[in-house]
C-alpha cells in the first residue's frame, strides 16, 4: 500500500480537514470530483475561504484510488458518523451507510453494490474513487447526468420463441417478461412517453437485435426485463447496470479493462438502475437485492442508458406465484415506471 504525498489528518474544531495550498498535485483528483460539486476548485484557481477547506484527500492501494469519507461528508454537507465496522454520511433527508470490507451499501434505504469494499486507513474509512464518481455522485446529484429528457423508452422482454429462459413450476420467463412489458408499456404511455417493445409476441430475437432496435428506434433509454433462478430460499429484485471501466462486476473479481458502448452512459446507467430498483421494491414489497454491476450483452452494447431488471426468482415458489399474478405484474410495472419517471425528472433540461 502506498500513501500519496500528503500531511496527516489534522481536524479543525468543526471537524473539517484543511489542506495546505498545493497547486497542481491534486489536479487529477479534482477533475474526477468535478461531477460531485461545484465547490471544488482546481490548482491555480482562487478559492473562497470556505471552498479552500473542502479538500478531499485520497490514498492509493494496489493502483486503486480511495477517498476519505470524512472529507466526502464535508463536500456533500453531511454528518460523518462511525463505529468500529459501520460508517454513515447523513443529513435530514440523506443517508448513506457503508460497512467495512463489504461491497453492499445502503443509499436512502435502497441497497447498492460497490465496485470495491470500503476499508479503514489510519483510522479513517475510505471509499473507491470510481464508486464516488460513477455511483454516489449520479445518485446524489443530477449535475453529472446527461442533459435533455426521456421521451422514447424501449422495453426489452427477455428471451422468447425457442429460448424459454428460466422455467418455473407453472410459468416460463419468456411469457412473464412479455406480460410485464405490456403492462409497463401501458403505464409509461399514460405518463406521456413513447414506448416500443423489442418483441411484442413470443418470437425469437437475438441479443444483437435488441441493442440494434434501441439504435434504429433512437431510444432515450432501454429497460430489459428478466426473471431469475438460484438455490433454495433466494428471492427478491435486483437491477443491473454495465460496470464502468476499472470497476468490478458484482459477481466477479475481474475489473473491466476495455470500454463498451454502454460505458458512454456510466453516470446515467447508475442513476437509472438506482431509481428502478428503488421503485420496483417499493411498489411490490419484494426483497431488495440491490443495484448491481454486470456486463450482460443486452446492456453493454446498448447505445443509450440502459438497465436489466431481474424481477424475481422463479425458483422460489412464492415469488414465481407472484410473477404469474396479474395484480403483482401491475405492481412491478408501476414501480419500474415510477423509477423511470424519477430518473427523467433528475435530468438537466437543455
CATH number at residue 340: 3.40.630.40
Residues 178 and 321 occupy one common structural domain: yes
Burial letters 319-343, b for 16+ CB under 10 A, else e: bbbbbbeeebbbbbbbbbbbbbbbb
**Is 336 inside any structural domain?**
yes
Residues 171 and 267 occupy one common structural domain: yes
Q: Distance between CA atoms of 35 and 208, rounded to whole angstroms? A: 32
> What are the cell numbers at 240?
443491473
CA distance readout (Å), 184 to 13, 195, 217, 235, 332? 52, 9, 18, 22, 8
**In the listed set 142, 168, 187, which residue is the last one of a domain according to the structure?**
142
* Amino acid 18: pLDDT: 30
Residues 218 and 310 occupy one common structural domain: yes
Burial letters 167-180, b for 16+ CB under 10 A, else e: ebeebbbbbbbbbb
Residue-by-residue pLDDT tens, the chain, 350 positions: 232 334 344 333 233 333 333 333 333 344 344 434 433 322 222 223 344 467 899 999 999 999 999 999 998 899 999 988 999 999 999 999 999 999 999 999 999 999 999 999 988 999 999 999 999 999 998 888 999 999 999 999 999 999 999 999 999 999 999 999 999 999 999 999 999 999 999 999 999 999 999 999 999 999 999 999 999 999 999 999 999 999 999 998 889 899 999 999 999 999 999 999 999 999 999 999 999 999 999 999 999 999 999 999 999 999 999 999 999 999 999 999 999 999 999 998 76
> What are the cell numbers at 17?
480537514
Cβ(135)–Cβ(273) below 8 Å: no
Residues 224 and 83 occupy one common structural domain: no
**In the listed set 142, 173, 190, which residue is the last one of a domain according to the structure?**
142
The closest of 253, 234, 244, 235 to 273, measured between CA atoms, is: 244
**In the listed set 142, 163, 179, which residue is the last one of a domain according to the structure?**
142
Torsion of CA 133, 134, 139, 140, to 10 degrees: 10
Residues 250 and 330 occupy one common structural domain: yes
The closest of 258, 62, 34, 260 to 133, measured between CA atoms, is: 34
**Is 229 inside any structural domain?**
yes
**Beta partners for 81?**
88
Residues 104 and 196 occupy one common structural domain: no
Long-range contacts of 42-47 (CB under 8 A, 24+ apart): none
User: Half-sphere exposure of 173 toward its Cβ, with a 13 Å CA cutoff?
Assistant: 24
Beta strands in the chain (DSSP E): 58-61, 64-68, 79-82, 86-90, 95-99, 104-107, 110-113, 119-121, 124-128, 152-157, 194-197, 221-228, 237-241, 288-293, 306-313
**Is 7 inside any structural domain?**
no
Q: Tell me the residue range of the domain where 299 lies.
A: 152-346
* Amino acid 248: pLDDT: 96
Q: Considering its fold, how many domains does the chain have in total?
A: 2
**Is 22 inside any structural domain?**
no
* Amino acid 350: pLDDT: 60
* Amino acid 3: pLDDT: 29
Cβ(278)–Cβ(286) below 8 Å: no
Question: Counting every residue, how long is the chain?
Answer: 350
Residues 113 and 210 occupy one common structural domain: no
Residues 261 and 190 occupy one common structural domain: yes
CA distance readout (Å), 33 to 39, 66, 70, 108? 10, 12, 15, 22
Predicted TM-score (pTM) of this structure: 0.86
**Is 197 inside any structural domain?**
yes
* Amino acid 53: pLDDT: 62
Q: Distance between CA atoms of 217 and 250, rounded to whole angstroms? A: 31
**Is 310 inside any structural domain?**
yes
Residues 207 and 327 occupy one common structural domain: yes
> What are the cell numbers at 329?
405484474
Residues 192 and 108 occupy one common structural domain: no
Q: Distance between CA atoms of 72 and 62, rounded to whole angstroms? A: 22
**Is 14 inside any structural domain?**
no
CA distance readout (Å), 177 to 193, 299, 301, 323? 20, 16, 20, 9
Long-range contacts of 253-258 (CB under 8 A, 24+ apart): 255/115, 256/295
Residues 80 and 179 occupy one common structural domain: no
Amino acid at each position: 500500500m502506498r500513501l500519496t504525498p500528503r500531511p496527516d489528518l489534522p481536524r479543525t474544531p468543526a471537524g473539517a480537514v484543511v489542506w495546505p495550498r498545493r497547486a497542481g498535485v491534486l489536479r487529477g483528483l479534482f477533475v474526477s470530483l468535478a461531477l460531485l460539486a461545484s465547490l471544488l476548485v482546481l490548482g491555480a484557481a482562487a478559492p473562497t475561504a470556505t471552498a479552500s477547506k473542502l479538500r478531499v484527500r485520497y490514498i492509493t492501494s494496489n493502483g486503486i484510488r480511495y477517498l476519505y469519507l470524512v472529507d466526502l461528508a464535508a463536500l456533500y454537507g453531511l454528518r460523518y458518523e462511525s463505529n468500529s465496522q459501520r460508517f454513515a454520511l447523513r443529513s435530514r433527508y440523506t443517508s448513506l451507510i457503508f460497512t467495512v470490507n463489504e461491497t453492499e451499501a445502503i443509499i436512502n434505504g435502497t441497497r447498492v453494490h460497490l465496485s470495491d469494499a470500503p476499508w479503514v486507513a489510519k483510522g479513517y474509512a475510505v471509499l473507491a474513487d470510481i464508486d464516488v464518481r460513477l455511483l454516489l455522485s449520479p445518485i446524489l446529484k443530477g449535475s453529472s447526468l446527461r442533459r435533455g429528457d426521456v421521451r422514447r423508452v424501449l422495453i426489452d422482454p427477455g428471451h422468447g420463441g425457442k429460448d424459454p429462459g428460466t422455467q418455473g413450476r407453472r410459468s416460463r420467463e419468456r411469457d412473464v417478461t412479455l406480460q410485464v412489458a405490456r403492462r409497463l408499456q401501458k403505464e409509461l404511455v399514460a405518463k406521456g412517453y413513447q414506448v416500443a417493445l423489442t418483441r411484442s409476441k413470443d418470437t425469437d430475437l437475438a441479443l444483437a437485435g435488441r441493442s440494434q432496435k434501441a439504435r434504429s428506434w433512437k431510444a432515450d433509454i432501454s429497460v430489459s426485463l428478466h426473471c431469475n433462478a438460484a438455490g433454495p430460499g433466494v428471492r427478491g429484485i435486483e437491477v443491473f447496470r454495465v460496470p464502468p471501466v476499472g470497476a468490478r462486476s458484482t459477481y466477479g473479481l475481474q475489473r473491466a479493462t476495455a470500454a463498451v458502448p454502454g460505458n458512454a452512459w456510466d453516470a446515467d446507467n447508475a442513476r437509472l438502475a438506482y431509481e428502478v430498483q428503488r421503485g420496483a421494491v417499493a411498489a411490490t414489497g419484494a426483497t431488495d437485492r440491490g443495484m448491481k454491476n454486470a456486463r450482460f450483452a443486452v446492456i453493454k452494447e446498448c447505445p443509450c442508458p440502459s438497465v436489466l431488471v431481474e424481477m424475481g426468482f422463479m425458483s422460489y415458489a412464492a415469488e414465481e406465484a407472484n410473477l404469474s399474478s396479474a395484480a403483482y405484474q401491475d405492481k412491478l410495472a408501476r414501480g419500474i415506471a415510477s423509477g423511470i419517471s424519477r430518473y427523467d425528472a433528475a435530468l438537466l433540461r437543455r
